[in-house]
Chains A and B, each alone.
Chain A
Amino acid sequence: MTSWTEAQARALITDPGTLKRGQELAAPAKWSNLGQTDTAAWGECKGSGSTPYQTGIDLQEPAFKCSCPSRVFPCKHGAGLLLLLARQPQLLSSPTPPPWLQEWLAKRQQTAGKQPAQRTIQQDAHLSGLPAPVENNDSGAASEAELARQKREAQRLVRMQRGAEELETWLLDLIRAGLAATESQPPSFWENQAARLVDNQLPGLAANIRELAALRHQGTDWPERMLARLGELYLLVRTVPRLEQLPAATRQEILQQLGVSVKKEEVVATQPGVADTWWALSQTTTEEDRLTVRRSWLQGQETGRFALVVEFSFGGQAFATPLMPAGCYTGSLSFYPGLLPLRAVPGELAFTGTYSLAPLGSTGPAQLLNDYATALAQQPWLRELPVLLAGGVPHQTASGDWVLHFPTHGYVTADTSTTLPGNPATPIEHQPDREVALPLRCDELTGWELRALSGGYPLTVFGEWTGAALRPLTCWPAPSPVSNPAC
């Protein structure tokens, strides 16, 4: 029987309100007839009505069922049952599923055959915002449809080029007036331009403009950061008039940067699947209004490849995949086309358990900086590069910032005195053994968490390198601190 951890259970509960209410139900008093098998868990929960709610979880999917009227999946009862299963599995003691659960499971198995086709179509409609493609065997109609599609694309391209032209004029005006002048501009200065870009079907550029508006509240170095972003944006804008002359991979990359969405099943259909054993290294969830965005970084254990799976959930609905932190999956991923493919669509992934030790295949700081420069040469608009870094010790500097310090030789022993700062003028590649401190981009408490786990010994950290700092996402302490390590 696979055991569930608290973190994994929480990853399946998308809605924070449901999680909170589920926490209150993750205690036995209101439950009766609790039970589980290898593939399902169930119980009856006392609510405000006279009959208890029947709650079940199909653990293979996982999928939830509850007789309560809530339309959120999982509902608070499902969430409570799942947390209870993670925390105190021994309470779910009955081995025989009740009839209502068996009925539901049987129904699920019946529909399972038909489901994949249906789901793809639903997802397609959901993600691209376009009606589902109509399959048509009539070749005449098909070519007609093809013609219509080409016409639509040509129209879209024209609009995009017009939008890019307008943006160029706006950027040139901005530079002419100076960045300092933007400080007195109202929010509408940015928002109007962003809205025009959305109208011209360039939502990727619109997102860029909205980020610029927020920059000046993010520290005194905002002019420097804004200029860098404006310059990079300008490089992107200048590619638009010439889109059709660019090589296919470059064009696809730029189209994605501009915000032209690629349908998931188009990715799956056109890109080769990469089969591997994928480990979920990190998972972060952010909230925007009723939209929940979940970013999961996976790493293939054979290929060593990193893959980013981005999923959206509206109003507490479940995510498309049941990815969990520290989960292992076998199956294939299809990468979005582009210059440096990182984002991927998961195919059928089979959950095979969890891992607890640090993943292998980590690099050091010099390798990271080289890799990043190489990646930028491939994809100049790259924001962050995933990296598994080993050997760094988190430290807080006198100014309160956090750094990941890589001591000269392997482990630091208790009797090693602090080494002198290295000479900054020497290129690191020539001295792979030199000590280095990489800035960490994290809040105060995350820094302390890292420090607590390290105990002053090196950690393996997975994170995103942003070009000037590492955003730590997950870390693994060394198996156990050795008092007398062999260097």
Chain B
Amino acid sequence: MSETPTTTPAPALQPATDWQRILRVALLGSRQAPDALPDAGLKLPESNTHPDYREKQVLLTAGTLSLIRKAGFRPAPVPAFASDVPVVAPPDTAPPLGPAGAQLLAQLLEGTHAALLRGFLEDLPRHGRRVPHQLLVSLLEYARPRPDLHAATAAVLGQRGVWLAAQNPAWQPIVAGSRAVEEAVWETGTIRERVNFLTHLRGASPAQARELLAATLPQEPAKNQTALLEALGTGLSPADEALLEQYLTSKSKEVRQAARLLLARVPGSQLVERLWQRVEPLLQLKRGLLSKKLLLELPAQAWDKTWLTDGVEQRDTRFSGDKAALLGQMVALLPPHRWSGHWNIAPTKLLDLAAGTEWAALLLSAWAEAAILHHDAGWAVALLEWFFEQPRKLATTLPAAGLVKLLSATQLTDLVLPLLNATPHLTPDVRWLPLLLLVPAPWPERLTRRVVELLRDALSRPEQLHRIHYAASQLLEHMAQVVPAAQHDLCAQPLQPLLQNVPYLHNSLARLLNALHFRQQLEAALNEPPG
């Protein structure tokens, strides 16, 4: 090791400049760069007439200087750090999740039962808990591209997490989201940001939002107009009518659609009155001595431009036939209770009468659309009940998903349970199944109990399994989302013993039981002592 340089005294050594010189030669190539070489105090054993002497010298000097530079490493001056956040995080006041809770949260953030994350985050502040420090980065990174999680995330970060997020521009929107949205967004933001801004403003100051919108809309492309107009849905009032009426005759079909759906919902809407004038003479309820009869005519005059100002398009793919489309559109825009009120008749009765006409399908789907548009829960119940109660030979399906959203879980249970009891077998084409798959969380206990009974019966007949395989797995997967954790035993006691004996279905069944068990653990974690 005679070449070991660190022991060789080198009085004239200048590591920094020597290194730059040697780097230049090495980069260009020793043949191309005739520069004199620093010798770093080294003596080669070879004679300096050796043909490779210069190359050897470059490499040896480079190796030596590299070691010197590493051994003599001196940290760069301490840079200035951002001073707008406190040097240290304020102490946390809320206790963190305990070890099991932290473990569960880590699993959620890894994607296990990811659908449960939001609910769990929302539960934390209610129990005075926060996310432990070691999971803050994972949570913030998870929430960053998911704006719907921002509010829930901001509430569980604790002092440490808020302090941390304030330092990273990528995380700032998570904590800033709930605060005032900056005005600049309105001028320069993406359409989604602008709609969010407008919706916020609309909530705080409806008139200001309307004025802002009125000033901007004419310059916007049709696509933006549609999105921005929809922000008026918050806090809709008669004051918005004038603005919306202008867009009933817009060149864009989407804009016209947005405007008329909003106008139909304005309290005391003039559009609704105009439509009523047009359609009321067409539908007549004829009362006989013993029975009533619904009579229906199509509009006498054909469509012209004046229809457009009343929110009716020339064609509508939802309804077949030119004139039928005009009628259908009008019924779909009018509040459905207007009819039941007008004739003083229950919606169910009216549906029965409608079923007797040749326009049954048209009326049913138009009323369903109208019930959804006007959030009419009474009509929604009536429509669903009437439709699912018995097999209806109608060439139409009901927009059940939209109607179901108007009902509470209790209302839906009251609707579904009688249907279950009337046909208590799980078969692939059983009528209540699509409706049951729409009943949202949390399922009431009486519903779960009944469904579990049906499932136990169905799964106990292995010879039938191949027939109901798809229907049953759909049902089990849905239940994994909506059955509350407290009903774990209600499901596990009858169903777990079947697990060994349900080929095709044991994975779905295991997923349901595991999901319920996981949710039980999440609930327990809320009261777990911090580590």
Interface, chain A (partner B; CB < 8 A)? 6, 23, 27-30, 46, 48, 50, 52, 87-88, 171-173, 175-181, 223-224, 227-235, 238-239, 246, 250, 365, 369, 372-373, 376-377, 380, 395-398, 403, 405, 412-414, 416, 418-419, 421-424, 427-428, 435-439, 445, 448-449, 451-453, 455-457, 467-468, 477, 481, 483
Contact = CB atoms under 8 A, between A and B. Distances in A.
A439 B90 CA distance: 26
Nearest to B63: A231
Contacts of B90: 414
Contacts of A424: 74-77
Contacts of A448: 137, 164, 168
Contact of A30 (B1, B78, B499): B499
A421 B91 contact: no
Interface string B15-27: 0000000110011
Contacts of B115: none
B80 A398 contact: yes
Given A29-B509, A176-B29, A179-B27, A398 B79 contact: yes
A223 B26 contact: yes
A175 B59 contact: yes
B193 interface: no
A383 B396 CA distance: 75
Contact of B79 (A419, A437, A457): A437
Contact of B70 (A246, A405, A449, A467): A467
B27 A180 contact: yes
Nearest to A448: B137
Given A171-B59, A231-B65, 7 more contacts: A175-B58, A176-B31, A234-B56, A376-B67, A397-B81, A414-B88, A452-B160
B496 interface: yes
List the 4 closest pairs (A to B, CB-CB), nearest first. Answer: A178-B29, A231-B63, A231-B62, A456-B88
Contacts of B517: 27-29
B300 interface: no
B79 A397 contact: yes
Contacts of B506: 30, 46
B49 to A, nearest CB: 16
A422 to B, nearest CB: 6
Q: Is the interface of B mostly helix, strand, loop or mixed?
A: helix
Given A176-B31, A452-B160, A456-B89, A395 B77 contact: no
Interface string B131-161: 0011011000100000000000000000011
Nearest to A247: B1
Contact of B81 (A52, A250, A395, A438): A395
Nearest to A177: B29
B52 interface: yes
Contacts of B136: 452
A453 B133 contact: yes
Contacts of B88: 412-414, 455-457, 481
A437 B78 contact: yes
Contacts of B72: 373
Nearest to A6: B103
B87 A453 contact: no
A234 B60 contact: yes
Contact of B73 (A48, A181, A419, A467): A467
Contacts of A30: 499, 506, 510
A232 B68 CA distance: 11
Interface string B25-57: 011111111000000000000000000100110
B521 interface: yes
Interface in B261-314: none
B160 A396 contact: no
Indicate the member of B6, B79, B80, B503 with the most A CB atoms within 10 Å: B79
A477 B136 CA distance: 15
Given A178-B29, A223-B23, A448-B137, A428 B61 contact: no
Contact of B133 (A175, A436, A468, A477): A477
A29 B160 CA distance: 37
B78 A46 contact: no
Given A180-B27, A451-B167, A455-B163, A405 B78 contact: yes
A50 B141 CA distance: 43
A30 B511 CA distance: 9
B28 A232 contact: no
Contacts of B58: 175
Interface string B200-235: 000000000000000000000000000000000000
B4 interface: yes
B103 A227 contact: no
A483 B87 CA distance: 12
B26 A175 contact: yes
Contacts of B160: 452, 455
Interface string B81-117: 1110011111100000000100100110010100000
Nearest to B164: A452
A29 B510 contact: yes
A224 to B, nearest CB: 6
B66 interface: yes
A483 B33 CA distance: 61
Given A412-B88, A414-B86, A452-B134, A421 B80 contact: yes
**Which residue, A88, A181, A365, A373, has most C-beta atoms of chain B within 10 A?**
A373
A105 to B, nearest CB: 26
A451 B77 CA distance: 20
A421 B79 contact: yes
Contacts of B82: 398
Nearest to B510: A29
Contact of A178 (B32, B66, B163): B32
Given A178-B29, A231-B60, A376 B75 contact: no
